[in-house]
Each structure stands twice: as C-alpha cells, then as structure tokens.
C-alpha cells in the first residue's frame, strides 16, 4: 500500500506537511514585567528606577540608555514578545551617585518603590506581585539630596509665562524656586530683558510653555539649564491664582503683594510642576517675593561669560570673580554671595547699607574673627531644614539644625554687643535672636553624639532621653543580663538557690529547678506564680507570666527599639515643619552675616576700599586692580600693577570713552575687565580692589571681550563679535558701562577699521555711555580731535637691548605700535619668520604713512546716526494688537477683536 492509498482511506484525514511549521504565540509577560510596563507607560519621558529588593533595576530602552550613561554592565532577564529583555541595575545604597550622573547627563528619573509589605502581597496569592508605584520624579530643578547638589551653588527651578503686564503691554513673568531651600521669587521683564534675566538666575531647569519653545530658542540656548516643555494646564492664567492660593492655604494671593498676571502664571506653573513631580510629598516653600523691574544691574549672557563672574568659560568656579572674593565659611553664605554678584543692586541706599555692614566688620577685627569662628560651626541650616520638613531628612539633618541654631544663639549674643550697629547687622541680629531656640534644646536633649546617616539604622536617640526606649534597648542588647536579674529575683523569692532560667527552641525561655524543690512550686503560695510545663528525670520546668512577657519583648526588642526611635524622629520632624518659616529666616540671616563678615575679611586681607556709589554718571577708579589676576599673582609672589580709570562725564551730559591702545600682552584686556568687575563688586555691596572709587550707578553692563565661534548656530568668530557688538550699540544708555576689546579685528583691515570707527562714533553720539574701547587700529586715536568725550590712553612699554618690557601701566597718550612681532618672538616663532615679518612690517608702515586716513578724520562728516531719524508714525492697528492678551480671550471676544482690527486697517 502506498502513502497515497493510506491518505485516501475512508475516515482518515488527509496528511499535510506544512512548509513553515506554526510559531507558537509569545508567552504573556510575567506579572512583575506587566507591572513594570504599566508603570513605565505612565512615565514615558523618564528612566524608571524599579525597586527590586536591594537594587533599582531598569529594563528595555531605559536599561540601554542607563548602561551607556553610567558605564555599567547591560545584561538580560527573561523574554518579552519573544525577544530578550535588556536589563541593568544599581544598588539602592549607591542610588544617589547614579542619580547624579543621570541628571547631569540630562535625563529625568522616575523612582518606583514598593508600597506594601511583601507579607500582604502573599495573602493575595503565592504569585502576587508586591504593589509598587512612582513616589517621585527626579529632575535637575527638583533635587534636595546633598549628594546630588553643589553645596555652594543654588539649584533653581525657573518657570516662564507670557501675558499682559501692569502697564498694559506684553511681558514675561519669571518665577524661580530653589527646592533645596524653599526660597521662592517672582519678577516681570520685557521681552528684550528675558535673556539677561535667565542668565542671572543660572537655572538648573526651566519650564517653558509648549507654544513658546521655538520662539524662546535663542535666549534658552544661552543657558546651561535643562528645558522642560509644559502644557497649557500648567500655564493657564485663569487657574493660576486659585492654584497658588490653594498651595499656600490662603483665600487670596493679594497677601503676596501686587503680582502681575504673568508673575502669577509663572508662580502657579512652579507649584503645579512640583505637585506633579513630587507626588505625595510637597516641599515647603516661602511665599513668593517680588523683585521689581530695574532692581538689579542688567548683564546679558555674553557679558557674564566674558567677565567670568561666577564661573569661567570652561564651566569651573575656580578662577572666576566669585572664587576670588568668596571667603565665606558656610555653604549658604557662598550661595548668597553668588546671587549678589550675579545681580548687583541699583539702589544707592541699599548698596550703602551693605557697605555700612561690611565697614563695621572691617573696623572691628576681633568681632569679625569671633563671628567667623562661630559661623564655621554652623551647618547648612536651609537645606537641612528643607529635607526634614520635606520628609527626606535623616538624623544628621536634625543635628545640622541643632548645631546651626546653637551657632545662631551665640552669634545673636555677639552682635548684641555692637554699639550703633548698622541697620543690616541689627536686622541680622534680630532674626538670629528670634530663632526657635527651644527646638535647639529639644534636639540637643534627644540626639546622640554619634549619628547614623539613615534613620532606619537607629541608634540616634541619646541614652537616658526615653525610659521605655532605654529598657527596650537593654532587652535587645543586654538580654542575658536581664534574664540573670530575673533569675536572681525568682531564686530569692522561692529560696531555691539552684533555680535556673534556660532556653531551647521548643519551649523558649523556662525555669528549671531540681524535682525536690519543684514539688514545692506546684503548691501554694508559689503555684499562683509558677506554671508547671514539664517534668524531667530529676528536674521540673516552669514558666511565669513575667517570663513569657519578657520572652516576647526580647524577641521584639530590636523592632520595638527602632519603632520608638522612628517615632521620636517623626516628632522632631513635625517640630521642624512647624518652625520651618522661622528656620528659613534664621538661615537667611546666617548667610547674610557670613557674606558681610567674609567681604570684610577680603577687604582687609587684600586692601580693598569702600566705594562711593551714587546716582551720578561718575566713574572714577584710583589704583584699581583686577581681583582675579591679582589673586593669581599673589599666589606666585608677583605684584600687580594698579591703574587709574576715569570715565566721568565732564558736563553731566554723557560719559567719557577711553580709547586704549598698546602692545599685545601689555594688559589692555585686564585693564578693561577690572573696571567692569569693580562696578559689579561695588553694586553687589562689596569693597573694591582700588585705593579710591566713585561709581555712579551702572544700570546695564556690556562686555565684548575675547574671540570665539558658535559653530552649532552657524556663526563664525567675526559673526559672533558683530552680534554681540550690535546688541551693545542697540541697547546701551547713558547709565551703561561698556567695555569693547578689538572690535573689527576678525575681518579685513579696512572693513574692521571702518566698523570700529563707526562704533566709536555711535557710542559717543547716540549711546552717550561710559565706555572703554581697546584697539590695535591706531588710526582711531585721531578721532579724539573731533569727539569731545573721547580720551586716548595707552599701555606703556620700555625697550632695553632690543627686548620689550611690558610695564602694565596705563597713561594718557597714543601707542606708536603694537609690538606684535616681539610678542610672536616671545611665543617661540622661528627666528627666520620673525626677521621676515619685521622686514614686511617696515615696508607696510612706510606705505601707510602716505595713506589718506589722517585727512579722512577732518573731511568725513560725523556719524550720521547722531542725527536722530524721524519717529515712525504710530499704527493704530498694531497698538490695538499689542494690547490684546490672547490667553485671556473667549472665542467670542477673539472674533470681536478681529473685526476691530480689520476696521482699523481700513481706516
């Protein structure tokens, strides 16, 4: 019979042999993986730290991203849809280190923890998964842990909102909060001031409405912040006031001051974002304080980078102005000093108040030393109190609060000895005296000398503080001694000297006596106390109620002791939360005191002088020095050559422009920068490196120093130079201070000379500001003949035996040459190149003497921009459009506005 016959038999199914056997469907995910996928889908834009015992594990794409970012091994665990599941993990005890690296790499992290006891999960079935949920989203602007933060640097979360200002036009509201301290501030700026405001705040994370991401691309790109787009629900002006009032538990936000709609919207966005990322926890925040327009010096991002105010161009703090003058002994003091340098004041009275306080410590060296000594023992109160009140603190945070409050009490006493104390010091003393010193005593009485890092480790409550805890610890740590004491008591009560308390795994603790004595214990009066359990050959065993209770307590002693300690911690944490506002005020006072005493210390150590700051347009420095360069030279034992600078308006009608020529390496850039840095220090409330200083308030500071390209935005070095110069010429006013270095050197000689020429004329005739202009275009010095407020100055050099000596002295006059070839020789160019360059230079200079540049100075009409162009005619439709706030319009109102605009255009 053939195969065909078999297949064809009646009742037999046809035999088919498929070419591709069917693939079984993929197995469904395990319950644990199903749970992971569900939680991950709810947090798609974050790396999920999924708690598995003592590890946080990551799967799928998260694992691949994290393994690359953290440099850890990528493994596999099980399968999903037929594919291996990539996996990596980090130990829970080292999670902070890995979190920091992920945040610095620009990632967000969702921390997922177990939210129920595994024993409860088992009650639902042997294969039930422990419930887990995300307890916190970790983002760059919401960090609180010390391990994730720079102690001496604020960590700001900033929100931007656009809306109608109080004056009726459109403006940007800016809200900033440091979640690690709770400090909360709001301000409003015009569109042209947004970039400078963001540069001053130097945020870690900026919340930007989705609709504004592209529009605000340029100013956002100038920051180092992580940019987080947010939906309209967070920046809805209609909900802003209600959300803010609900968060602070007030009926109305009027108690915060007259906040504008953009400010309210930005502040509401901050609050909403914290609610969204911190989930069940809510960080305590101070009520938002309003920073008025024009309260601080406006310094754009390029100027901050050029002057290296708080960090160098490479990003390091070392070598910046802040680093040179920061002698603070507390982290809070350093953060406050950085804020003051980033935002110098404009109010002469407020500046003078800070100078008065610094002067008081300059004149009282003994007091200054004692204050700084006491401050050095004060931990970071602001961040410690915030962590405890936020529910993220530990025993050492409580100790930090204790020690900081103790230092505050001692400092309040010291400051109280100052006669006629300046207003700022008196205010600081009052805040320190008003601190919750009862809390300090409670903490001192409760906390042990040696403290664990984590509260779950126990051992942080002082012995003798809680009798019940002491007894429980005794059971845990000295159970043998306690049993021996009970055994002795029973032996004396029964008059049985051979009575013993023993233990085994079957009976637990029991009392054993010889049988002859045991017969007495089963009879009155002992039978009511001793309960017979077992009779042995020659011995009898008993128990008692007290022994049974003792056995239970010994077994539970470790857990009971920890629970009592945790209860004590929660009581103290609740006290800290109640006193949070007082603690924040005390922390602010400690920081302000530290800054004041530190600036006085710097002034004495480095011979800084108190500047006179007023509302005039004067700018006069005598014997001025560059604070950073001088610090570096002091370290190497070399002196700094001081110089004068005078840009004061001779008639009050406009500032002087000083045109500085001189050799390369002669110190022109240093001279320019030190003038700007002295203005920053003076208005920040510090003394300045000079022998005398008179500075009329500088409202805007501009700097164009150095050369760099911006390839990412398609800009050459010269283009960057021109963009920055354009911003200065379009924005500087009479109260501005401008420093310009080598304008026009990035292009052809005559192009560059022409641009520099025109820029000087514009500064003189249109901007009318105080300015320092360094150049190698010596032809520009002839402009002093026709521009009355232009002064020539040069950096002096001396030649000796064919060598050039840079004297670093600036004096009135004109440089005859730039000595570039001599500098090239010092740099190590081959001698043949140096000789050839010298020969070429001689020929070029001979040809240049026959050029008509001198004649141009007299014949070329003055810069046309000096004649103001006619004012543009107002456009009624444009004005009406500017007055519309689209976010506040209903659909019907929007349609009516459109008809009005159309009618205006017809007119």
Residues annotated within a binding site: 662-669
Query: From CA 395, how far away is CA 379, in angstroms rounded?
Result: 14
> Which of 370, 350, 352 is CA-nearest to residue 418?
370
Q: Are 79 and 27 in contact (CB under 8 A)?
A: yes
Which secondary-structure segment (H or E) carries 69?
Answer: helix 60-70
CB atoms within 10 A of CB 817: 15
List the alpha helices (DSSP H) in 279-315: 301-307
- DSSP line for 249-282: T-S-GGGG-S--HHHHHHHHHHHHHHHHHHTT--
> Which of 318, 440, 324 is CA-nearest to residue 385?
440
Exposure of 504 in the CB half-sphere (CA atoms within 13 A): 6
Query: From CA 762, how far away is CA 773, in angstroms rounded?
Result: 13
Query: From CA 413, how far away is CA 817, in angstroms rounded?
Result: 62
- How far is C-alpha 708 from the chain's CA centre? 27
- How far is C-alpha 218 from the chain's CA centre? 22
Starting at the edge strand found earlier in the chain, the sheet holding 156-164 runs: 226-230, 205-209, 156-164, 170-178, 183-189, 289-291
> Which of 376, 318, 310 is CA-nearest to residue 635?
318
Question: What phi, psi does 203 have (nearest 5°)?
Answer: -70, 160
- How far is C-alpha 342 from the chain's CA centre? 13
Cis check: omega of the bond before 525, within 30 degrees of 0: yes
CA torsion through residues 284, 405, 447, 458, sign: positive
Query: From CA 64, how far away is CA 773, in angstroms rounded?
Result: 53
Close Cβ partners of 155 (under 8 Å, ≥ 6 residues apart): 140, 141, 143, 149, 178, 179, 180, 204
Query: From CA 192, how far away is CA 179, in angstroms rounded?
Result: 28
Q: Are 410 and 374 in contact (CB under 8 A)?
A: yes
Query: From CA 876, how far away is CA 800, in angstroms rounded?
Result: 71
For residue 800, the SS3 value is strand
CB atoms within 10 A of CB 524: 7
Annotated binding residues for ATP, written as ranges, equal 662-669
Query: From CA 374, how far away is CA 604, in angstroms rounded?
Result: 19
For residue 522, the SS3 value is coil
**Distance between terminal CA atoms of the chain?**
104
Q: Are 122 and 100 in contact (CB under 8 A)?
A: no
Query: From CA 21, how far away is CA 68, in angstroms rounded?
Result: 39
Close Cβ partners of 539 (under 8 Å, ≥ 6 residues apart): 512, 513, 514, 515, 518
Query: From CA 761, how far away is CA 526, in angstroms rounded?
Result: 113
Task: Say which DSSP state 869 is in.
Answer: P
Radius of gyration of the chain (CA): 38
Q: Strands 205-209 and 156-164: what pairing?
A: parallel
Look at phi and psi of residue 227 and say left if phi exceeds 0, alpha if psi is from -120 to 50, else beta: beta
CB atoms within 10 A of CB 603: 22
Close Cβ partners of 350 (under 8 Å, ≥ 6 residues apart): none
Question: What phi, psi does 233 have (nearest 5°)?
Answer: -60, -30
């Amino acid at each position: 019979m053939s195969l065909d016959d078999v297949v064809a038999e009646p009742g037999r199914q046809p035999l088919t042999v498929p070419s591709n056997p069917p693939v079984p469907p993929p197995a469904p995910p395990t319950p644990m993986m199903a749970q992971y996928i569900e939680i991950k889908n709810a947090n798609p834009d974050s790396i999920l730290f999924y708690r598995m015992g003592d590890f946080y594990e990551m799967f799928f794409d998260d694992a691949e991203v994290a393994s690359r970012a953290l440099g850890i091994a990528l493994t596999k665990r099980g399968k999903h849809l037929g594919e291996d599941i990539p996996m990596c993990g980090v130990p829970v005890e080292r999670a902070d280190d890995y979190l920091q690296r992920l945040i610095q790499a620009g990632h967000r992290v969702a921390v997922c923890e177990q939210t129920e006891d595994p024993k409860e999960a088992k009650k639902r079935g042997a294969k039930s998964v422990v419930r887990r949920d995300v307890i916190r989203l970790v983002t760059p602007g919401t960090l609180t842990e010390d391990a994730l933060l720079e102690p001496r640097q604020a960590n700001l979360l900033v929100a931007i909102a656009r809306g109608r200002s109080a004056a009726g036009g459109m403006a940007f509201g800016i809200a900033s909060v440091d979640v690690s301290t709770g400090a909360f501030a709001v301000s409003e700026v015009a569109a042209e001031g947004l970039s400078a405001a963001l540069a001053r705040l130097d945020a870690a994370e900026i919340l930007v409405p989705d609709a504004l991401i592209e529009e605000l691309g340029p100013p956002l790109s100038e920051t180092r912040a992580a940019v987080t787009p947010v939906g309209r629900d967070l920046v809805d002006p209609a909900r802003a006031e209600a959300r803010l009032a609900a968060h602070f538990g007030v009926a109305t936000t009027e108690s915060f001051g007259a906040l504008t709609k953009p400010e309210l919207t930005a502040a509401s966005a901050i609050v909403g974002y914290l609610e969204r990322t911190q989930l069940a926890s809510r960080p305590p925040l101070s009520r938002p304080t309003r920073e008025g327009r024009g309260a601080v010096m406006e310094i754009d991002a390029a100027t901050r980078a050029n002057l290296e105010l708080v960090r160098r161009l490479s990003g390091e703090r070392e070598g910046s102005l802040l680093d040179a003058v920061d002698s603070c002994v507390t982290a809070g003091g350093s953060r406050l000093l950085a804020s003051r340098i980033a935002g110098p004041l404009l109010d002469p009275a407020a500046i003078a108040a800070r100078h008065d306080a610094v002067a008081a410590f300059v004149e009282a060296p003994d007091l200054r030393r004692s204050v700084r000594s006491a401050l050095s023992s004060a931990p970071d109160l602001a961040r410690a109190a915030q962590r405890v009140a936020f529910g993220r603190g530990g025993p050492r945070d409580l100790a930090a609060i204790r020690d900081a409050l103790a230092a505050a009490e001692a400092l309040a006493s010291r400051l109280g000895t100052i006669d006629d104390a300046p207003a700022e010091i008196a205010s600081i003393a009052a805040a320190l005296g008003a601190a919750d010193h009862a809390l300090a005593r409670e903490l001192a009485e409760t906390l042990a000398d040696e403290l664990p890092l984590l509260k779950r480790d126990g051992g942080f409550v002082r012995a003798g503080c809680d009798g019940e805890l002491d007894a429980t610890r005794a059971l845990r740590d000295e159970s043998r001694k306690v049993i021996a004491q009970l055994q002795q008591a029973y032996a004396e009560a029964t008059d049985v000297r051979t009575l013993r308390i023993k233990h085994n795994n079957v009976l637990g603790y029991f009392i054993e006596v010889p049988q002859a004595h045991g017969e007495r214990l089963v009879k009155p009066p002992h039978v009511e106390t001793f309960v017979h359990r077992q009779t042995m050959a020659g011995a009898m065993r008993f128990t008692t109620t007290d022994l049974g209770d003792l056995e239970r307590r010994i077994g539970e002693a470790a857990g009971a002791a920890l629970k009592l300690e945790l209860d004590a911690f929660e009581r103290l944490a609740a006290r800290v939360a109640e006193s949070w506002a007082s603690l924040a005020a005390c922390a602010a006072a400690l920081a302000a005191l530290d800054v004041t005493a530190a600036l006085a210390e710097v002034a004495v150590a480095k011979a800084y002088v108190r500047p006179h700051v007023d509302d005039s347009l004067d700018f006069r420095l005598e014997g001025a020095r560059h604070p950073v360069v001088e610090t570096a030279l002091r370290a190497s034992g070399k002196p700094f050559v001081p110089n004068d600078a005078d840009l004061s308006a001779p008639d009050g009608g406009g500032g002087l422009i000083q045109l500085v020529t001189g050799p390369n390496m002669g110190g022109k850039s240093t001279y320019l920068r030190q003038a700007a840095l002295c203005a920053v220090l003076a208005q920040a409330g510090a003394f300045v490196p000079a022998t005398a200083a008179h500075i009329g308030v500088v409202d805007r500071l501009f700097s164009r120093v150095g050369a760099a390209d911006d390839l990412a935005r398609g800009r050459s070095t010269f283009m960057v130079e021109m963009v920055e110069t354009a911003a200065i010429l379009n924005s500087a006013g009479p109260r501005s201070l401008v420093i310009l270095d080598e304008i026009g050197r990035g292009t052809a000689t005559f192009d560059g000379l022409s641009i520099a020429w025109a820029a000087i004329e514009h500064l003189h005739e249109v901007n009318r500001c105080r300015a320092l202009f360094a150049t190698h275009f010596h032809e520009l010095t002839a402009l002093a003949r026709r521009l009355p407020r232009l002064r020539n100055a040069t950096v002096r050099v001396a030649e000796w035996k064919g060598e050039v000596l840079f004297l670093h002295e600036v004096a009135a006059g004109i440089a005859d040459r730039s000595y570039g070839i001599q500098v090239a020789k010092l740099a190590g160019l081959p001698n043949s190149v140096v000789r050839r360059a010298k020969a070429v230079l001689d020929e070029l200079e001979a040809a240049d003497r026959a050029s008509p540049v001198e004649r141009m100075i007299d014949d070329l009409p003055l810069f046309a921009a000096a004649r103001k162009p006619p004012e543009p005619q107002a456009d009624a439709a444009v004005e009406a459009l500017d007055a519309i706030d689209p976010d506040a319009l209903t659909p019907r109102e929007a349609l009516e506005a459109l008809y009005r605009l159309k009618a205006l255009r017809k007119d």
